[in-house]
DNA sequence: AATGAATGAGTGTTCATTCAT
DNA sequence: TATGAATGAACACTCATTCAT
């Protein structure tokens, strides 16, 4: 694959990301992508077998990047801060890569692709659940229904991501911190209660 | 409109709900709907102007039903219990009307329809935000960033709904209660802290 | 056939005339006709076998009426005046029955119907041709190419009819006279020529 | 646009001319045109946006060609001969381009297209009217009702055109001359009258 | 590698006609 | 007679994909 070719492929991917993020899978047409990329119709099919393929590649890229941003919590440092940082990095992705984030959070895609995204969120939910269980076992956390609470927490972050995409420039660290504090401390004002 | 006609229309709506919930808007075709309903092609167009129209009607129905299930919290009774009941009713919808719930939570639809659903969730978020502000003012709740927390809570319920749809028979009251307790009390085990 | 029935049939015919005159054959739909007539869909098919049939009936009615208005020229009275009167009556039809006239002069219809109208105009052309031949034989008229001139005269009247339909209230006798005088005397100003 | 493309487009136009001339606008279907042209369905839509578009293009072409054949009468040469030549060229069009002529003179088309053709004939009528007025002012022609006579003359030529289309090979110069002589001299045999 | 003209299966939609009530 | 719900063949148009150059 020559440099030129690599450029063409890259151009198509970038174009597709833009188009998919604006219109979703179904309302994006090959004509939109090649027009945006400035290539001919046939050129698209040199690099990609189908519309499905390029979409899947983009989708997998998004999921990989998101996974990369979630780092396992180690015991050497403050676990709470590590969780905040993980959420911060996820929100950063929403802000930095608005187009890509839109694709998985706002835009519609073929039922057959859902597994890719759903799988990812399920994995994350499982991770959170395991962490909660650990925290409970260690006596730090209340003995909650970990499955439910894990789902709730993932749903919460997703929704905040959506808002981050729309708002654009938010203080992701602050938001992540607020979220974690809320999850840990809850809403009750306990000042005078103990 | 005769009884027949009402039945036919109803049959088409029911068929469409099923088809849309399985395939989403784009991959659902008129042929699928009429086959499911057992009517002729032309019959569909007696009752609906287009595929868009019937989808919109179904979407609006879902949103209306969800709104109906969210009752304003009054001061005469325990507010916490009322919130739990609201969430319970929403989760009940996910369990009772799995197909309809799938449409708005899992399936893809035309960008032009998103507003209907998005508007609804924005309204709910706004409601939650206002409630939080009231609780803070009355000194019951901590002074949190109400916008962020409201979004987080709505996202949490959405995610739990998704799980309810998939799981099928869950104890919605218990789940709602768990969720509210988590939101109020947080995760920190405070037994020995005060 | 009861009186009621006759009324229904008549109502459908009148409605069809109006609709056909506005939209032509192809863009007129059964729904337009029954809406205008205030009958049910099925009622239409009690009285007419098809859209074609009712159109044909109307078309034939128009042609019959036009034929009725063209009276053979007799030798007892001034032949020129009789011709003027014939043309006047044709133009009167255009003015009195604008809708019907529109159908044959402006609106589009199925190729299979053209014969009905074309036949009529051909007959008229033949009549004019025969008259011209007679006039030439009797020495009143110049020895022209009767076929060409007959066609020209029929075409002239058709075009004047179209104008009569559009203008609405014109002095049809005057126009008919002007036309005949032109045909007989031509345009050359011969005042000083003989 | 490549040579191929131009050929394909041309082929479609030629096919459409043939089909439209045989069936009129409404009874011509895309399938007829592409079958005649020997292209695939989609190919049609590469070159034309819709059935309406290709029809309009053809219609406009006809009107343009007809306009091209009507040359303004100049004073340097015999005006009568120039008029004869104009009519001759119009009749030549009917003979040379029978298919195209059929489209505007015999075949049915959407009401929305009529303006294109009507406009043309109105323009021509206006031209004739102005010429008549000039002739009257210059004392060559009798003071007739120019509007009526102009219409009559246009209608006459239209009808002769129709005949030319059907007959096929006629002496267009002779017919044009006959027509003009008739218009100028009328039918009265004036041999013994002055 | 790159092009872009050509393809054709597949969509939504229309509308004259039928028929049970 | 009258109704109007139901029918389905037929139509214009779309768009992912192919392939000769």
Q: How confident is the model at residue D112 (pLDDT cuts 50, 70, 90)?
A: confident
Nearest to C186 among D24, D157, D186 (CB): D186
Q: Report, in angstroms and rounded to the nearest whole number, the Rg of chain A calculated over CA atoms.
A: 20
Chains that touch B (3 or more CB pairs under 8 A): A
User: Quick one: pLDDT at residue D169?
Assistant: 86
Q: How confident is the model at residue B112 (pLDDT cuts 50, 70, 90)?
A: confident
Residue D194 pLDDT greater than 50, yes or no: no
DSSP letter for C106, please: T
Residue D22 pLDDT greater than 90, yes or no: yes
Q: Report, in angstroms and rounded to the nearest whole number, the Rg of chain B calculated over CA atoms.
A: 20
- What tokens does B142 get? 């901590």
Q: Worst-scoring range by mean pLDDT, A86-90, A114-118, A171-175, B110-114?
A: B110-114
Residue D1 pLDDT greater than 80, yes or no: no
Based on the domain organization, do C94 and C145 belong to the same domain? yes
Q: How far is D10 from chain C (nearest CA, A)?
A: 26
CA neighbor of B153 nearest in space, from B176, B136, B119, B173: B176
Would you call A98 helix, strand, or coil by DSSP?
A: helix
Based on the domain organization, do B90 and B33 belong to the same domain? no
Nearest to D154 among C140, C159, C175 (CB): C159
- Tens of pLDDT along D139-181? 999 999 999 999 999 999 999 999 999 998 899 999 999 999 9
Mean pLDDT of C96-116: 91
Bases along strand E below 7 A from a protein CB:
1-20
Residue D182 phi, psi dihedral angles, 5° rounding: -60, -45
User: Quick one: pLDDT at residue C142?
Assistant: 93
Residue D104 pLDDT greater than 80, yes or no: yes
User: Quick one: pLDDT at residue D186?
Assistant: 92
User: Quick one: pLDDT at residue C111?
Assistant: 84
Decide: C187 and D142 in contact? Cβ < 8 Å. Answer: yes
Residue B125, C-beta contacts closer than 8 angstroms, at least 6 positions apart? B150, B151, B154
Comparing alpha-carbon positions, the chain D residue that sits nearest to C172 is: D148
Residue A58 pLDDT greater than 70, yes or no: yes
Residue A159 pLDDT greater than 60, yes or no: yes
Q: How far is C152 from chain D (nearest CA, A)?
A: 4
Residue C192 pLDDT greater than 80, yes or no: no
- Tens of pLDDT along B140-157? 999 999 999 999 999 999
Tally of domains within chain B: 2
- Tens of pLDDT along C122-134? 999 999 999 999 9
Domain presence at residue B153: yes
Domain presence at residue D71: yes
Residue D77 pLDDT greater than 50, yes or no: yes
Percent of all residues in chain D with a pLDDT value above 90, rounded to a whole number: 86
Q: How confident is the model at residue D5 (pLDDT cuts 50, 70, 90)?
A: low
Rounded distance in angstroms from the CA atom of residue A18 to the C1' atom of nucleotide E5: 27
Distances (CA, A) of B144 to A81, A177, B125, B158, C111: 19, 11, 15, 21, 78
User: Domain ends where: D11, D26, D48?
Assistant: D48
Q: Worst-scoring range by mean pLDDT, B17-21, B135-139, B174-178?
A: B135-139
Picking from C25, C108, C167 by the largest number of D CB atoms within 10 A of its own CB, the best residue to mutate is C108
Distances (CA, A) of A89 to A79, A166, D56: 15, 17, 59
User: Quick one: pLDDT at residue D32?
Assistant: 98
Residue-averaged pLDDT of chain C: 93
User: Quick one: pLDDT at residue B194?
Assistant: 46
Query: Measured between beta carbons, which residues in chain B are less than 8 angstroms from residue A132?
Result: 187
How many Å apart are CA D146 and CA A165, to the nearest integer?
A: 73
**Is the CB of D142 inside 8 Å of chain C's CB atoms?**
yes
Based on the domain organization, do C174 and C87 belong to the same domain? yes
Nearest to B142 among A154, A183, A187 (CB): A187
> Which nucleotide is at minimal CA–C1' distance from D41?
E8
- Tens of pLDDT along C27-50? 999 999 999 999 999 999 999 999
User: Quick one: pLDDT at residue A3?
Assistant: 60
Task: Quote the domain boundaries for residue B10.
Answer: 1-48
CATH number of the domain at B67, please: 1.10.357.10
Rounded distance in angstroms from the CA atom of residue A50 to the C1' atom of nucleotide F15: 13
How many Å apart are CA B120 and CA B126, to the nearest integer?
A: 10
CB contact under 8 A, C148 and D175: yes
Would you call B25 helix, strand, or coil by DSSP?
A: helix
CB contact under 8 A, A160 and B159: no
Mean pLDDT of C54-59: 97
Based on the domain organization, do D91 and D14 belong to the same domain? no
Domain presence at residue B167: yes
**Is the CB of B178 inside 8 Å of chain A's CB atoms?**
yes
User: Quick one: pLDDT at residue B191?
Assistant: 61
How many Å apart are CA A125 and CA A131, to the nearest integer?
A: 10
Residue A194 pLDDT greater than 50, yes or no: no
Based on the domain organization, do D107 and D40 belong to the same domain? no
CB contact under 8 A, B185 and A188: yes
**Is the CB of B132 inside 8 Å of chain A's CB atoms?**
yes
How many Å apart are CA C58 and CA C76, to the nearest integer?
A: 35
Q: How far is D160 from chain C (nearest CA, A)?
A: 6
Domain presence at residue D73: yes
Domain presence at residue B190: no
Based on the domain organization, do D63 and D41 belong to the same domain? no
Domain presence at residue C62: yes
Q: Which of residues 53-72 of C touch D (CB under 8 A)?
A: none
Mean pLDDT of B75-93: 94
How many Å apart are CA A143 and CA A139, to the nearest integer?
A: 9
The pTM of this model reads 0.92
User: Quick one: pLDDT at residue B189?
Assistant: 82
Residue B95 pLDDT greater than 60, yes or no: yes
> Which nucleotide is at minimal CA–C1' distance from B5?
F5
In chain C, positions 12-41 with C-beta closer than 7 Å to nucleic chain F are 39-41
Based on the domain organization, do C66 and C33 belong to the same domain? no
**Is the CB of B6 inside 8 Å of chain A's CB atoms?**
no
Domain presence at residue A24: yes
Q: How confident is the model at residue A191 (pLDDT cuts 50, 70, 90)?
A: low
Greater pLDDT, B169 or B19: B19
Based on the domain organization, do A99 and A166 belong to the same domain? yes
- Tens of pLDDT along C145-161? 999 999 999 999 999 99
Based on the domain organization, do C128 and C172 belong to the same domain? yes
Judged on CB neighbours under 10 Å (0-12, 13-18, 19+), D38 is exposed
Residue D82 pLDDT greater than 60, yes or no: yes
Based on the domain organization, do C72 and C40 belong to the same domain? no
How many Å apart are CA C124 and CA C101, to the nearest integer?
A: 16
Residue B40 phi, psi dihedral angles, 5° rounding: -85, 160
**Is the CB of B45 inside 8 Å of chain A's CB atoms?**
no
Based on the domain organization, do B21 and B75 belong to the same domain? no
**Is the CB of D167 inside 8 Å of chain C's CB atoms?**
no
Residue-averaged pLDDT of chain B: 93
CATH number of the domain at C28, please: 1.10.10.60
User: Quick one: pLDDT at residue A192?
Assistant: 47
Q: Worst-scoring range by mean pLDDT, A88-92, A104-108, C58-62?
A: A104-108
**Is the CB of B109 inside 8 Å of chain A's CB atoms?**
yes
Based on the domain organization, do B63 and B37 belong to the same domain? no
User: Quick one: pLDDT at residue A5?
Assistant: 63
**Is the CB of B163 inside 8 Å of chain A's CB atoms?**
yes
User: Quick one: pLDDT at residue D107?
Assistant: 87
Q: Which of B98-112, C106-120, D82-96 is predicted most confidently?
A: D82-96
Which residues in B61-84 are b (16+ Cβ under 10 Å) and which e?
ebbeebeebbeebeeeeeeeebbb
Domain presence at residue C194: no
């Amino acid at each position: 694959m020559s440099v030129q070719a690599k450029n063409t492929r890259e151009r198509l991917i970038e174009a597709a990301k833009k188009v998919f993020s604006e219109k979703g899978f179904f309302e994006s047409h090959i004509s939109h992508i090649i027009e945006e990329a400035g290539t001919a119709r046939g050129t698209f099919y040199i690099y990609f077998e189908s519309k499905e393929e390029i979409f899947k590649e983009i989708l997998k890229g998004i999921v990989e990047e998101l996974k990369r941003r979630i780092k396992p919590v180690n015991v050497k440092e403050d676990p709470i801060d590590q969780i905040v940082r993980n959420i911060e990095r996820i929100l950063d992705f929403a802000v930095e890569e608005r187009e890509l984030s839109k694709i998985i959070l706002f835009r519609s895609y073929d039922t057959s692709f859902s597994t890719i995204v759903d799988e990812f969120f399920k994995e994350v939910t499982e991770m959170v659940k395991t962490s909660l269980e650990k925290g409970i076992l260690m006596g730090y956390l209340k003995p909650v229904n970990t499955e439910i609470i894990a789902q709730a927490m993932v749903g919460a972050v997703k929704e905040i991501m959506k808002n981050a995409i729309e708002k654009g420039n938010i203080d992701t660290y602050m938001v992540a911190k607020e979220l974690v504090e809320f999850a840990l401390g809850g809403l009750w004002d306990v000042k005078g209660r103990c």
